[in-house]
């Protein structure tokens, strides 16, 4: 076979409507430049020494940043295992998990409600869900500062009608952080669940009622399995970015409890330890990937129908 023939053969063999390999090249370059390259830089930085004054890196290899992840020289001078970063990461994961679950509990009824509206309403409602994206997250988080304030509308209303003697401190608490996180990520849960729910054949729900199922049973045994791809996508879309949240703990949590992103940001700022910041990022990256793999394994094990393919293609 001569080499000049090869492309012709390929073209003949290609299916109609299938673009050539080169058609994907711009996208691929884009992906590499914008996704892969920064990751590679972070991984490289995590194996370098600090620059002279701590801002930037020195191009000599070291694993010190990874040692610092787990060991610290105590103030009395001895090196010992120090789980502080792991604790903060675990704490972040807990916040993210709670956020994901609260978002889930809120999104399922909302998404199903939207999916059961007449078609012309659905478009408008989905549009409404995306409205928060019109303004920056910073502004929206500040808005919660105002809402949750001791002198804010919630406390104002509760004290105003006499339900409370004194305002409940809500701002600068873990509660406020969670509220902020749930608020930020709710659309990321609603939209994929809605996408699944919209495809759901509600005649199946009727069939289940007909067979004697109550509302709750229908929701749990018929609707939930059908919207599972959306639920899983939503959980991933909420949990992972929530893990990297910076604003909510900073502005709403009052800065008293760090999440891992705050610690990483500090390393690139006042703490002047870029390699440690990079190593922390790599740790988050690895754990995120482990979570994704765990999700994939769990769903593969428990689902053997077509839904799986959807999820796999998503992952």
Partner 1 sequence: MARWKNGRMPRLALVIGFTSMMALAACGGETTMGGGASSEAPASSAEAPAASESAEAPAPAADFPTPNGGELNLYNWTDYISPELIERFESETGITVNLDNYDSNETLLAKLQAGGANYDVIVPSDYMVAQMIELGLLQEVDPASFPNGQYIKPEFLDVYFDDGRKYTAPYMYGTTGIAYDPTKTGGEVTSWAEFFDPASPAAGKIGTLNDQVEVIHAALRAVGSQPCSPNKEDYVKVEELLKNWKPGVAVINSDGVIGRMASGEQIMHMMWNGAFTRAQADNPNLEYVYPAEGINLWQDNFAVPNGAQNVDNAKIFINWMMDPKNIGEATNFVGYDNGITGSAEFMTPELGANPAVVIPEEFKALAQPTPGCPVEVIDLYDQVWTNFKK
Partner 2 sequence: MSAESALSIREVTKTFPTPEGGEVRALDSVSLEVADGSFTVLLGPSGCGKTTLLRCIAGLESPDSGEIDLKGQRIDDVPVWKRRVNTVFQSYALFPHMTVAQNIAFGLEMDKLPKAQIQQKVGAALEMVRLSDLGARRPSQLSGGQQQRVALARALAKEPEVLLLDEPLSALDLKLRRGMQMELKRLQRETSITFVLVTHDQDEAMSMGDLVAVFDSGRIVQVGPPREVYLSPRTRFVADFIGEANLLEGAAAGGRIDIPGFGDVADEAMSAGSAPPQDGPVIVAVRPENVVLRPDPTGNGTIVDATFIGGDLHVEVAVGDTLLSVRQGGPGSEALAVGALVRVGFAPGSARIVEP
Q: Residue 47 or residue 144: which is nearer to partner 1 going by CB?
A: 144
254 binds, among partner 2, partner 1, none (CB under 5 to 8 A by kind): partner 1
Q: Residue 125 or residue 266: which is nearer to partner 1 going by CB?
A: 266
By CB under 8 A, residue 203 contacts partner 2: yes
244 binds, among partner 1, partner 2, none (CB under 5 to 8 A by kind): none
* Residue in the structure block whose two tokens are 């993210």: 96
Minimum CB distance to partner 1, residue 22 (Å): 33
217 binds, among partner 2, partner 1, none (CB under 5 to 8 A by kind): partner 2
Contact 45, 274 (CB under 8 A): yes
Q: How far is CA 151 from CA 161, 251, 255, in A?
A: 14, 16, 20
By CB under 8 A, residue 226 contacts partner 2: yes
174 binds, among partner 1, partner 2, none (CB under 5 to 8 A by kind): none
Please tell me whether residue 61 adopts helix, strand or coil conformation: strand
> Angle, nearest 10°, between helix axes 260-268 and 84-115?
120
Q: Residue 266 or residue 296: which is nearer to partner 1 going by CB?
A: 266
Pairing of strands 57-61, 71-73: unpaired
Q: How far is CA 33 from CA 40, 46, 285, 286, in A?
A: 10, 20, 18, 21
By CB under 8 A, residue 206 contacts partner 2: yes
Per-residue DSSP letters for 263-315? HHHHHHTTT--HHHHHHHHHHHHHHHHHHHHHHHHHHHHH--STHHHHHHHH-
Q: Residue 158 or residue 292: which is nearer to partner 1 going by CB?
A: 158
* 260/265 Cα distance (integer angstroms): 9
Instruction: Mark residues 275-304: x for contact with partner 2 by CB under 8 A, - for none.
Output: ----------------------------x-
Residue in 99, 141, 281, 307 binding partner 2, rule: CB under 8 A: 307
Of the listed pieces 71-79, 200-208, 257-265, 269-277, which binds partner 2 according to CB under 8 A?
Answer: 200-208
Q: What is the DSSP letter of 2?
A: -
Q: Residue 96 or residue 307: which is nearer to partner 2 going by CB?
A: 307
Q: Write out the E strands in 56-171.
A: 57-61, 71-73, 79-81
Residue in 22, 166, 212, 313 binding partner 2, rule: CB under 8 A: 212
- The binding site for partner 2 (CB under 8 A) comprises 201, 203-204, 206-214, 217, 221-222, 225-226, 303, 305-307
């Amino acid at each position: 076979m001569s080499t000049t023939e090869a492309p012709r053969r390929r073209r003949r063999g290609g299916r109609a409507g299938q673009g050539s390999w080169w058609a994907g090249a711009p996208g691929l370059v884009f992906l590499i430049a914008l996704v892969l390259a920064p990751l590679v830089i972070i991984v490289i930085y995590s194996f370098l020494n600090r620059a002279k004054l701590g801002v930037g890196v020195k191009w000599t290899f070291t694993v010190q940043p990874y040692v610092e992840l787990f060991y610290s020289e105590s103030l009395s001078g001895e090196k010992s295992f120090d789980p502080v970063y792991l604790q903060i990461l675990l704490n972040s994961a807990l916040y993210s998990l709670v956020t994901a679950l609260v978002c889930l509990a809120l999104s399922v009824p909302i998404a199903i409600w939207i999916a059961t509206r007449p078609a012309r309403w659905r478009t408008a409602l989905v549009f409404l869900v995306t409205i928060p994206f019109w303004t920056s997250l910073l502004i929206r988080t500040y808005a919660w500062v105002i809402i949750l304030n001791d002198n804010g509308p919630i406390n104002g209303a509760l004290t105003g009608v006499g339900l409370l003697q004194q305002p409940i401190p809500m701002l600068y608490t873990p509660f406020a952080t969670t509220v902020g996180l749930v608020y930020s990520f709710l659309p990321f849960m609603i939209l994929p669940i809605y996408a699944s729910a919209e495809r759901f054949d509600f005649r199946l729900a009727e069939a289940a009622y007909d067979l004697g199922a109550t509302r709750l049973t229908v929701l749990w045994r018929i609707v939930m399995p059908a919207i599972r791809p959306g639920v899983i996508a939503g959980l991933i879309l909420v949990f992972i970015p929530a893990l990297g949240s910076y604003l909510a703990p900073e502005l709403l949590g009052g800065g008293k409890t760090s999440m891992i992103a705050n610690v990483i940001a500090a390393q690139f700022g006042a703490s002047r330890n870029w390699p440690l910041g990079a190593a922390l990022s790599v740790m988050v990256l690895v754990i995120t990937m482990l979570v994704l793999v765990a999700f994939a394994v769990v769903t593969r094990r428990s689902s053997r129908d077509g839904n799986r393919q959807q999820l796999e293609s998503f992952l």
